[in-house]
């Protein structure tokens, strides 16, 4: 079937569906010049690709699929070559009931379906998808497939890498190095926070965590796992012969002029060693407090605490809530040539120029408390403690804050008022902690709505009342919700921001703490004095159109 014949047949379908008229079709067919009819119609702004694909699906009684919103089976994608996929604009997405489900932009192309049936040996069940979405997905899987094929071809008959071979640079162009480089560079470009390499019983899975949500990006034969892990271990200066115990390491890369560090943890599982790589972007820690999504009042309270020459600022929240990023943003505010600033961390995630950073090494006896005691002999103006974990560290930190040092640290609590009671539970006298702490900041990370596809809607008043969303009865607000488009990978969200609860320690809160008040009681006083809770801050950002109610309810208890 020629491109011209295919275009005419497709055009008749679109005219019959009422999406375009005959005059528009004739004009488009006269201007195809080797391009698809769909591309010409989109360029003419007669119809968008989604509408064209839906019209085709409806007229032929076939399902329409959103490629970015469905889970594609990597095994299915490997059943046809990249050349065939590109030629027919077809992507196998799933194997079901002895049939191969294939997404096509033109499902009436019987020659394409016959080719796919012969090549795969499966009966073909067509579904319809927009042409540009298909092309984008085909290219993404093609890149990964080509790398895996190169690697599988190069790996046959080879043995495990040795540290000497790598240090001599003999494997720099090896297939295993290429596949690891591809995994790493794609993670950086997609904005991933973590990379998971997970062996199963029969295959190997690679996932990225983007904006806090895991996405599978690759499955490959299990036989590449051993050499991939050897390569990664050598990159991180780990022992490649040791496969029975967990190991930690790190390495760094520079991509597109930006430096990224990778903190790597290897863990033995029943199917082999799995690895998690945490991406630590240097540009992330150069962010200012203004970039973190603070509203005006919480920002003022944090700045007041940082501007004081002594006292403590505590940042609380669960793992992965952005506490370290906030601490480094606070450090950026206090770093000056006239200020002596020392940090003690476990581990040192970001290595910065101009700071004296101390790495905790508990096996050697360099604990947080031991490092902190020594640091205070260096006459620092500002001390950053990665985490307050025990009574000894807490006591030294509080005493440092009381004796003329500005102390920045983190603590694991669910909200800001609970930080004071947690220190009391650790064994710190309440009158000391209440006097030493200037401010407590609790935070979470919420995903931002994609600006290109977010949808305005009027929520149900009963639902707003149920969650306590502030509004005037009878006049529900106009809010936004997630939809999904190609720019956000059909998730509806792109990027993250902080949701904050900032409690300044006032005289009333000090007295309550000294009297052993509970976290709830301290919280009530703080709210009376104007503190916005995590939920208040989140709802304010929902009202501003930055995120959705569903996202705030997901991240805020």
Measured distance CA(250)–CA(260) in Å, rounded: 11
pLDDT in the model for residue 10? 73
Written as six digits, the tokens of 425 are 């539970």
What local confidence, expressed as pLDDT, does residue 532 receive? 93
Rounded-to-integer distance, Cα 510 and Cα 149, Å: 65
> Structure tokens of 19?
């999406």
pLDDT at 34: 60
pLDDT of residue 429: 92
Residue 366 per-residue DSSP state? B
Classify residue 504 as left (phi > 0), alpha (psi -120 to 50) or beta: beta
Cis, bond preceding 347 (omega within 30 deg of 0): yes
What pLDDT score was predicted for residue 363?
79
**What pLDDT score was predicted for residue 135?**
84
- Report the alpha-carbon distance of residue 376 to residue 437 in Å, rounded: 18
Q: pTM for the full model?
A: 0.68
Taking each helix axis as running N to C, give the angle between helix 3-17 and helix 49-60, from 0 to 180 degrees, rounded to the nearest 10. 80
Which candidate, 114, 118, 128, 132, places its Cα nearest to that of 36?
132
Mean pLDDT in runs of 10 for the chain (557 residues)? 60 74 76 68 74 82 80 73 85 84 85 88 88 81 58 45 43 69 84 91 87 79 87 91 91 82 93 92 72 89 91 90 86 81 82 80 84 87 89 90 91 92 92 93 93 90 89 89 76 88 95 92 94 94 93 86
Contacts 24+ apart (CB under 8 A), 457-462: 457/481, 459/549
Residues with Cβ within 8 Å of 311's Cβ and at least 6 positions away in sequence, in order, are 305, 401, 406, 407, 436, 437, 438
- Other Cβ atoms less than 10 A from the Cβ of 497: the count is 18
CA 255 – CA 281 distance, rounded (Å)? 11
Supply 30's token pair: 């006269």
- 281 - beta bridge partners? 260
β-sheet with 203-210: strand ranges across? 213-221, 203-210, 192-199, 272-281, 258-269, 247-255
Task: Give me the DSSP letters along 204-235.
Answer: EEEEEEETTEEEEEEEEEGGGHHHHHHHHHHH
Task: Output the pLDDT for position 521.
Answer: 95
């Amino acid at each position: 079937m020629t491109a011209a014949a295919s275009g005419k047949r497709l055009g008749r379908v679109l005219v019959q569906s009422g999406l375009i008229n005959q005059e528009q079709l004739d004009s488009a067919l006269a201007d195809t010049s080797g391009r698809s009819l769909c591309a010409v119609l989109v360029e003419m702004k007669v119809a968008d690709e989604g509408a064209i694909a839906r019209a085709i699906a409806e007229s032929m009684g076939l399902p329409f699929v959103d490629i970015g919103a469905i889970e594609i089976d990597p095994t299915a994608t490997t059943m046809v070559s990249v050349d065939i996929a590109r030629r027919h604009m077809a992507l196998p997405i799933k194997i079901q009931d002895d049939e191969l489900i294939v997404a096509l932009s033109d499902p009436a192309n019987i020659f394409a379906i016959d080719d796919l049936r012969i090549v795969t040996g499966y009966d073909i069940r067509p579904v319809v998808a927009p042409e540009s979405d298909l092309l984008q997905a085909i290219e993404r899987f093609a890149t990964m497939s080509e790398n895996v094929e190169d690697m599988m071809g190069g790996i046959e008959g080879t043995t495990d890498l040795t540290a000497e071979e790598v240090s001599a640079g003999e494997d720099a162009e090896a297939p295993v190095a290429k596949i690891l480089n591809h995994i790493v560079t794609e993670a950086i470009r997609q904005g991933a926070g973590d990379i998971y390499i997970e062996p199963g019983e029969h295959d190997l899975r690679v996932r990225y965590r983007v904006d806090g949500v895991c996405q599978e990006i690759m499955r490959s034969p299990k036989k590449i796992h051993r050499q991939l892990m050897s390569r990664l271990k050598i990159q991180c200066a780990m022992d490649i012969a040791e496969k029975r115990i967990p190991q930690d390491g790190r390495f760094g890369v520079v991509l597109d002029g930006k430096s990224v560090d990778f903190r790597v943890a290897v863990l033995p599982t029943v199917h082999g060693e799995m690895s998690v790589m945490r991406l630590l972007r240097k540009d992330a820690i150069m962010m200012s407090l203004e970039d973190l999504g603070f509203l005006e009042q919480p920002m003022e309270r944090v700045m007041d605490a940082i501007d004081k020459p002594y006292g403590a600022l505590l940042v609380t929240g669960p793992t992965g809530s952005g506490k370290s990023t906030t601490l480094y943003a606070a450090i950026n505010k206090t770093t000056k040539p006239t200020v002596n600033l020392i940090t003690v961390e476990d581990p040192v995630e970001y290595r910065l120029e101009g700071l004296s950073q101390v790495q905790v090494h508990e096996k050697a006896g360099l604990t947080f408390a031991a490092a902190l005691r020594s640091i205070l002999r260096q006459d620092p103006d500002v001390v950053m403690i990665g985490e307050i974990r025990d009574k000894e560290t807490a006591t030294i930190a509080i005493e440092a804050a009381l004796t003329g040092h500005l102390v920045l640290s983190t603590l694991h609590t669910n909200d800001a008022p609970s930080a004071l009671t947690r220190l009391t539970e650790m064994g710190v006298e309440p009158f000391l902690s209440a006097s030493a702490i200037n401010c407590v900041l609790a935070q979470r990370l919420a995903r931002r709505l994609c600006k290109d596809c977010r949808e305005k809607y009027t929520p149900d008043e009963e639902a707003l009342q149920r969650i306590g969303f502030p509004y005037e009865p009878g006049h529900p607000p106009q809010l936004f919700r997630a939809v999904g488009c190609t720019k956000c990978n059909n998730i509806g969200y792109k990027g993250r921001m902080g949701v904050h609860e900032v409690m300044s320690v006032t005289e009333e809160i000090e007295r309550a703490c000294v009297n052993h008040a509970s976290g709830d009681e301290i919280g009530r006083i703080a709210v009376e004095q104007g503190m916005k809770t995590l939920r208040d801050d989140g709802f304010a950002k929902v009202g501003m159109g930055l995120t959705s109610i569903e996202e705030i309810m997901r991240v805020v208890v």
